[in-house]
Amino acid sequence: MYIRSKLEREFPFFLIFKAFQEKLLFLIRFFQSPETIGSIFPSSDALTSKLVTQIAPSRSPKKYLEVGAGTGAVTDAIIKKLGPKDTLDVVERDPALCCLLKNKYKNPNIKIYEKSIEDFEESDYDGIISSLPFNQFSLDFVKGVFFKYLKMMKPGGFLSYYEYKYPEVCTRLLTEQRQRLEKIRNFKTEVGQKFDEKIESVWWNLPPADVRSIQKKGY
């Protein structure tokens, strides 16, 4: 799906240079906007491969949504698993990161939207993969996004997202907002209990994370 340019094919070091450029851009955007970017490093392969386990080959075309693509670490993992007729919508609010994504992914099956998920109105997704740093946001925002995701998913569709382990440690140091975190954690647990949540640890990521996935009932 991701077609390599002639330059990348002939000069493999150019790929390394591009990967470095992407990490640098991610880091710069983190320092400019830490609350919305939410982490210093893009997700590891170990994390991204766990996030996309529910994308499976299928006879009928599937429609997927990725939210908060950053420099495309998760997008790459999704694309590897897409069938030829599957489609992927990518929503990323950061203009610089969005510009990178639009240059990187030119396949007509992949659409990149430069907007906040709050302003994105599409539905009927077979799967939603979200990298939003929920622990950085207000409880109302988190609730709004979860209800939106549930509305956007087809019955039987899935939502996968990750959260970093031990958020209190970072948050106490940075913002001292433990109560807000506690409420967000309780809300996510409530949602998880309603939708048969599965949680898997990924230690090989900086910071280590939990991948959580739920399924919308009612086939």
Q: Judged by CB, which is closer to ligand SAM: 117, or 191?
A: 117
Considering only residues 88 through 127, tell me which ones interact with ligand SAM, judged by CB under 6 A.
91-94, 97, 116-117
Q: Judged by CB, which is closer to ligand SAM: 68, or 167?
A: 68
Backbone angles phi, psi at 35, to 5 degrees: -70, -40
* Helical residues (DSSP H) of the chain, grouped into ranges: 6-10, 13-32, 34-37, 45-51, 73-81, 95-104, 139-152, 167-174, 178-194
Among 25, 52, 65, 67, binds ligand SAM (CB under 6 A): 67
Interface with ligand SAM includes 167 (CB under 6 A)?
Answer: no
DSSP 125-141: EEEEEE---GGGS-HHH
Among 38, 127, 157, 167, binds ligand SAM (CB under 6 A): 38
What does the chain come to in residues? 219
Angle at 167 (CA atoms; ends 41, 27), nearest 5 degrees: 20
Interface with ligand SAM includes 133 (CB under 6 A)?
Answer: yes
Q: Judged by CB, which is closer to ligand SAM: 64, or 193?
A: 64
Q: Which helix (H) or strand (E) holds 87?
A: strand 87-92
The number of beta carbons lying within 10 Å of the beta carbon of residue 117 is 21
Applying CB under 6 A, which part among 1-9, 10-18, 30-38, 210-218 lies near ligand SAM? 30-38
Among 74, 128, 202, 214, binds ligand SAM (CB under 6 A): 74
Q: Where does this chain bind ligand SAM (CB under 6 A)?
A: 36-39, 42-43, 67-70, 73-74, 91-94, 97, 116-117, 131-133
